[in-house]
Amino acid sequence: MFRRLLSQNPRRGAATAFFTLTAFYGGDIALSSPDVPSRPTNVAISISAPLRQLLLSSSEIFSWEFSRPSFFSTSPAGFSTRDSSTMSPCPDSSKEASGENRDNVPLGRKSIAKAAAAAGPAVVNISAIQDYGVLSAKSIGCGTIIDSNGTILTCAHCVADFHRTRRVTKGKVGVTLQDGREFEGTVINVDFVSDIAVVKIQSKTPLPVAKLGSSSKLQPGDFVIALGCPLSLQNTITSGIVSCVDRKSSDLGLGGLRREYLQTDCAINQGNSGGPLVNLDGEVVGVNVMKVAAADGLSFAVPIDSVTKIVEQFKKNGRVVRPWLGLKMLDLNEMKIAQFKEKDASFPDVKKGVLVPVVIPGSPADRAGFRPGDVVIEFDGKSVGGIKEIIDLMEDQVGKPLKVVVKRSGNKLVTLTVVPEEADVDK
């Protein structure tokens, strides 16, 4: 039978022969009867010399046919169909949980469930009454408890009249935990630019706490889950992937100061606002703030690294202080630099930096001597290659002179001193 299979197509025949052999002579075989309790029975199989010789002579065919990854998948019982000699070591489950082997470990059946179980208990439902004179409306959103003192991260528009007066709604909101406990929360801080707010609750019993991760470690394609209460349906979990890690507010047609968002395809709806975006380690990597109403799979979250800085400024200044230079800036890379050099041979010789295409008249940058076409290569004594680096270096340094090195047309180096002003967030 096996020689007939091989004679038709040696390569496929060998494969078929192999699977036929496995089906008929499969090592340990479990036998059971309806009348007799199931009991495994070991059956020893002997292979004749001609058949053994046939299999040995076809070893090259087998090694080619079955070495491709597409042939090897996990069986329903959870065992690999590959020979153990050709398999890579099974990843350590402890390393998988910590994220060390994340690039090499496929999404497991329980990965999302474990992540949701880790962060879920700390997700709360937030309700607030919005007063509009003789009328009032109830807004519903979510939040995440981030410390044992009852500090909750949420959205500004969940606790304030965001679109009209930008005033906090009486400073009090209702907070409901997943275990059914109810509290009156106090709105501590609100930042309308980022749409981030902090609420506080007091509890005599221990509170569940979510662990904060790092959004800087995310890459497009990473799995994430969104937790919250869409349409008042509490304890709802949706999953998806990170579509973009640095979606700019200008890309979304949002005016005002520059902001960056995590774009995902997680399903979020009204009521999800303020809820956490969580990685597969169960760590909060963002705060869900909005979606595109006319499209599916376009939702946005404030990166947790940005949220952490906002919370630090809340503690330090009681508000978020944003320095303003008055520059329009553009990140440069090798391809953009080459393109600019093609158009203008006098474009500065740089490998990285931030191009200044526009200087706003009367701004701190204008008074400092910035010119359109300058390329910022150093800021406050440190080499920079992107706008985000400049923003991070400025932090909340308003009124402090900062040294900036720019390279101009013809490779002229100029050192400027700029004094940032506080941004007017209402413009």
Q: What DSSP assignment string belongs to 158-198?
A: HHB-TTTT--BSTTEEEEE-TTS-EEEEEEEEEETTTTEEE
- Verify whether residue 273 is a known catalytic residue: yes
In terms of C-beta density within 10 A (0-12 exposed, 13-18 middle, 19 or more buried), how is residue 344 classed? Answer: exposed
- Verify whether residue 191 is a known catalytic residue: no
Q: Which residues contact 233 (CB under 8 A, 6 or more apart)?
A: 271
| DSSP for residue 71 | G
Catalytic residue among 191, 195, 305, 374: 195
158 is written with which tokens?
A: 């969940």
Distance CA 236, CA 127 (A): 17
Distance CA 304, CA 186 (A): 22
Catalytic residue among 273, 281, 299, 305: 273
The amino acid sitting at 159 is: V
Cα separations in angstroms, 83 against 128, 229, 245, 306: 60, 47, 40, 48
Distance CA 339, CA 354 (A): 15
Task: Find out whether 355 and 330 touch, Cβ atoms under 8 Å.
Answer: yes
Catalytic residue among 139, 157, 194, 281: 157
Q: Which residues contact 329 (CB under 8 A, 6 or more apart)?
A: 354, 355, 356, 357, 376, 387, 390
- Would you name the residues annotated as active-site residues? 157, 195, 273
